[in-house]
Amino acid sequence: MRDVSTLTFNRRTALKLTAASVFAGGFGASRALAAMPALEAAAKKEGALNVITLPRDWANYGDLMDTFAARYGVKIDDANPDGTSAEELQAIRSLKGQSRGPDAVDVGPSFAVTGATEKLFQPYKVATWNEIPADLKDPNGLWYGDYFGVTSFAVNTGVVKNVPKTWADLLKPEYKGMVAIGGSPLKAGEAFGSVFAASLANGGSFDDIKPGIEFFGKLNDIGNFNPVKADTGTTVTGQTPIAIKWDYLNLAIRDGAAGKADIKVLLPEGAPPFGNFYCQAISAYAPNPNTAKLWMEYLYSDEGQLGFLKGYAHPIRFNALVAAGKVPAELLAKLPSPEAYKAVKFASQEQSNAAKKVLADMWPKVVKLG
């Protein structure tokens, strides 16, 4: 699975938000909330929700889906949990008009723009619409950011004796066959982020992803790159003992590995952190459109946003939630230090699109697998 104007996103600035901005929903939000009972009734009548590519251990989606299903009496079908953003869009195209077609998708920003351009999505604005930063949503409601993460390392210390702390460390001979990412960067936004992060660490920029591709080319040439898709199982068992993934995924792997493996999670030192967000959208051909809208309302409510945070994914309404004092102190205490996230920035959509073109051309030539 799974870009925006350059934006610094941290708790210090979050605390400076005014009460006016937190409660800026206005009449539109009140009207949407007033319509909620009718939406709930319509959703219960449909009785189903088709989602796609939502691993249960990704951003706490397992808990979010279970809670939604139980509360509204809806059966959730999560197709292809380990798929990619590209596969999500293809499912909308290929299953158009079928009862098993996706109702909603969670995709990377570039894929969200593609879906909107192809008219694969229908517009919908949740009650908390005004608390979603303008740069992180389509102005017409075709897609909207839901949470963001930062590229990190997860290291299984039972296999890796010396924990790598920088990108340069990954080139050491002792890490032969150990370094893996979350799939192909040509298909998965998470893996694409890993390459972009490597670029920033090796003299590149948001306008130049080539150094990142060349870095992975070196990793592959010396035998350190492991082409196996890194996930919870492969990291815990040691098949991919150094996993480069979003921080919220690696932190969840760390917690889930308790008693099985010691997993250390860190943001690479000496390099600007690379962040990326994901987006929700409702299919233009959703077989259960009312349930899809209710699902959006749930995900963007305080409860749903804090649900993402419980899975270590920073929710898109994070600033407003912190400013309103709605984030429990014990939850904040489980997250990495705010200082680690002070410099987090995102590529613009134009930069991301340009990088994808370069990646598509260079990756197969530079990172020769098989």
pLDDT tens figures, 31-65? 555 568 999 999 999 999 999 999 998 899 999 99
CA-based radius of gyration for the chain: 20
- pLDDT at position 28 over 50: no
**Per-residue model confidence (pLDDT) at position 338:** 60
Structure tokens, 350: 């134009």
pTM: 0.73
Say if strands 75-79 and 104-107 run parallel, antiparallel, or are unpaired: unpaired
Concatenating the DSSP letter of every residue in 258-318 gives TTT--EEEEPPTTSPPBEEEEEEEEETT-SSHHHHHHHHHHHTSHHHHHHHHHTT-EETTH
**Per-residue model confidence (pLDDT) at position 25:** 33
Domains of the chain by start residue, with CATH: 11-148+276-341 (3.40.190.10), 150-274+352-366 (3.40.190.10)
Report d(CA 255, CA 314) in Å as an integer. 17
Report d(CA 25, CA 28) in Å as an integer. 6
**Per-residue model confidence (pLDDT) at position 287:** 98
**Per-residue model confidence (pLDDT) at position 33:** 55
User: Exposure string (b/e) for 222-243, b if CB count within 10 Å is 16 or more?
Assistant: eebbbeebbbbebbbeebbbbb
Angle at 163 between CA 219 and CA 177, to 5 degrees: 35
pLDDT tens figures, 165-222? 999 999 999 999 999 999 999 988 889 999 999 999 999 999 999 999 999 999 999 9
Residue 343 exposed, middle or buried by CB count within 10 Å (0-12, 13-18, 19+) = middle
* Contact criterion met (CB below 8 Å) for 28 and 130: yes
